[in-house]
Amino acid sequence: MTDTKMAAKQQQGESWGELAKTVIYAGLIAVVIRTFLFQPFNIPSGSMENTLLIGDYLFVEKFSYGYSRYTFPFGAWPVGDKLHGRFMGSSPQRGDVVVFKFPQDNSTDFIKRVIGLPGDRVQMINDVLYLNGKPVPRERVADYVGNLDGEEGHWTQYRETLPGGKSYVTIDKTTDGPLDNTEVFTVPAGHYFMMGDNRDNSDDSREAVGFVPADNLEGKALFRFFSTDGSARFWEVWKWPFAVRYSRLLTLVK
């Protein structure tokens, strides 16, 4: 073998080695980002409509409330699964849209809005949200027009404003549903009360979800990076032109 061929072969080997290193480094960076900074999340249900729609893809900011064993893959700290509490922890605010582990099954992720903080009293009376004995102010806004829970129609919407000023829109499908009148829920220390914006079709703290421990918080929903109408999956690029909801791309979650 000539010196020229040997040099070319050596150079090719070095190129493959550099490529392998680049792939490994990129993979490690992606793991670090997903574990500690931002995690993608797909909306599978309509409990947060019209704020979040089925087919929305979000980035969740994982460092918003610090880190717990549930912010790591497989629900365990890298130093062992007996450690509890939050590292560099901070508290969510009323109105934050949060991804958390379902308290009754920590393999399942939920996304809801924080309504009650520790010590708060939360209740629904005649279709109106009460917080610490006072009705949360709301005003009627334009109807939501479209498919809601499998039905086409015009649906009543209200803009609620929580103490502290956080404002958001909820859908009120019925005025006398099973979730429109509830007992008083007093949020225990170290827990939060979550509700969906689609008030009459949300499995939240009024029912099976119950109070959500601070340990179960995974992060704050930050912005939508992609959205489809459900006729295309994320990897079905050829369907994007007709399936993508262009108006929802790169929009903040409020």
Look up 134 and say whether it is catalytic: no
Active-site hit among 62, 101, 112, 220: 112
Active-site hit among 47, 64, 202, 205: 47
Q: How does DSSP classify residue 52? A: S
Q: Is the pLDDT higher at 71 or at 249?
A: 249
Q: Reduced to 3 DSSP states, what percent helix, strand and coil does the chain have, rounded to the nearest 5?
A: 20, 40, 40
Supply the pLDDT for residue 141.
97
- Average pLDDT of the chain? 85
Report the SS3 class of residue 137: coil
Look up 101 and say whether it is catalytic: no
For 52, 92, 221, 227, 245, the CA distances from 251, given in Å and listed in that order, are 11, 21, 11, 10, 11
Q: Which amino acid belongs to residue 8?
A: A
Instruction: Provide, rounded to the nearest whole percent, the portion of the chain with pLDDT above 90.
Output: 59
Q: Which range, of 11-25, 121-135, 146-160, 212-226, averages the lowest pLDDT? A: 11-25
pLDDT digits (tens, 9 = 90+) for 186-214: 999 999 999 999 999 999 999 999 999 99
Show the domains of the chain with their CATH numbers: 43-83+91-127+182-252 (2.10.109.10)
pLDDT digits (tens, 9 = 90+) for 66-112: 877 777 655 555 443 444 566 666 889 999 999 999 999 988 999 99
Report the SS3 class of residue 21: helix
